[in-house]
Amino acid sequence: MTCVEPTNVISIADLGCTTGPNTIIVMQTITEAIENQYYKTVQKLSAQQIPEFQVIFNDQVSNDFNTLFKRLPPNRNYFASGVPGSFHGRLFPKKTLHFVHSASTLHWLSRVPKEITDRSSSAFNKGRIHYINAPKEVQDAYAAQYRTDFENFLHARAQELVSNGLMALQIATVPDVILESDIHPARVYELLGSTLMEMTKEGRVSEEKVDSFNVPLFYSPAKNLKEILEKNESFSVEQMETLKVEEFYEAPNASNFVSMLRAFLGDLIEQHFGGGIVDELFDRFTHKVVEFPDIMNPKKLKLVMLFVIKCNN
């Protein structure tokens, strides 16, 4: 990979950065790896030839960038900036990025499929907040939205990356064949949805509110994801690897597991239902997780596909 442009700056974007510390560790690792490879490849460097790194952290506008930047190490080997906005569309000028990283974010949809909240649609997702054990029309609507979003993501990055620029994408997927012993990662939302429905029956939550709330996440079968990538002419897959969750994720206890789920779903739930039910909802949900501990077992959970792809434009 030829990294250095005439400006002698290597631009790296971390898409879906949240607030760290994982993003900080990853960015330090990436910049050091590129720097080491540069020294191996180019001999007799002058001070002017040593590249500088610009790391751009991206997440939604609601992300706590203040906390992220406070956590940046003072002795880092890169300049840092932040760009808020959805990575499903353009974020950067054309041909300005050399490397793009994204980990465990591309299963988020840009929006909930419209038809699943339309009472006149055959895909109306009544009494559920996700697509597991829902009618085929609901699952198809989620899958179609995922394909559109991922294709839009690739189209945007194809414009922003320099020729031969690279992307490293860790994407949460599910096996192409789900065995009875497997736990689909979306089962957690089925369990959360059943908790909401119990609260509905007790008059604690409006049934209409539950029917209009759906979690905008989709776990693609691995083969479908590969198909989308292979059909995209702007990129070529340089490396593809399946990572098992248990290799880097230890099963938490129920309290920690629910706290992690609340960290990324709490705001969505509060915006839709109001803050009055959030504590009660997650307290009730914790009891359900205790009754169904396999939902936390990393050996029975999703796969993560690692793709390294090169921009051909």
pLDDT tens for residues 23-42? Answer: 999 999 999 998 887 777 76
φ and ψ of 176, to 5 deg: -65, -30
Hey, what amino acid is at 299? K
Task: Output DSSP code: residue 2.
Answer: -
Taking the C-alpha atoms of residue 104 and residue 94, their distance in angstroms, rounded to an integer, is 25
Give alpha helix (H) positions in the chain: 22-41, 65-71, 136-160, 187-201, 207-211, 222-231, 254-273, 278-291
State residue 134's pLDDT score.
94
Q: What is the pLDDT of residues 51-99, one digit of tens each?
A: 899 999 999 999 999 999 999 999 999 999 999 999 999 999 999 999 9
* Structure tokens, 58: 């991206």
Task: Please check the confidence at residue 150 and state whether its pLDDT lies above 60.
Answer: yes
- Give yes or no for a contact between 179 and 300, defined as CB atoms under 8 angstroms apart: no
- What dihedral angle (degrees, nearest 10) is formed by the CA atoms of 34, 36, 37, 42? 120
State residue 260's pLDDT score.
87
Query: In 3D, which of 257, 272, 176, 258 has the Cα closest to residue 216?
Result: 272
Residues 6+ apart with CB under 8 A from 216: 108, 109, 110, 111, 112
Query: In 3D, which of 98, 102, 99 has the Cα closest to residue 87?
Result: 102
* Structure tokens, 172: 């949460």
* Structure tokens, 105: 């974010």
State residue 5's pLDDT score.
45
- What dihedral angle (degrees, nearest 10) is formed by the CA atoms of 213, 215, 216, 222? -150
Taking the C-alpha atoms of residue 178 and residue 302, their distance in angstroms, rounded to an integer, is 10
Q: How far is CA 80 from CA 53, 71, 149, 230, in A?
A: 9, 12, 27, 33
Three-state secondary structure call for residue 217: strand
State residue 6's pLDDT score.
47
Three-state secondary structure call for residue 148: helix
Task: Please check the confidence at residue 179 and state whether its pLDDT lies above 90.
Answer: no
Q: How far is CA 84 from CA 58, 67, 161, 287, in A?
A: 5, 14, 18, 36
Q: What is the pTM of this model?
A: 0.90
Per-domain boundaries in the chain: 86-311
Task: Please check the confidence at residue 47 and state whether its pLDDT lies above 60.
Answer: no
Fold of 86-311: 1.10.1200
- The label of the residue with tokens 């465990």 reads 104
The confidence band for 130, taking pLDDT boundaries of 50, 70 and 90, is very high
Residues 6+ apart with CB under 8 A from 284: 195, 198, 199
Taking the C-alpha atoms of residue 212 and residue 275, their distance in angstroms, rounded to an integer, is 17
Q: Is 256 buried (19+), middle (13-18) or exposed (0-12) by CB count in 10 A?
A: exposed
State residue 10's pLDDT score.
94
Taking the C-alpha atoms of residue 291 and residue 272, their distance in angstroms, rounded to an integer, is 27
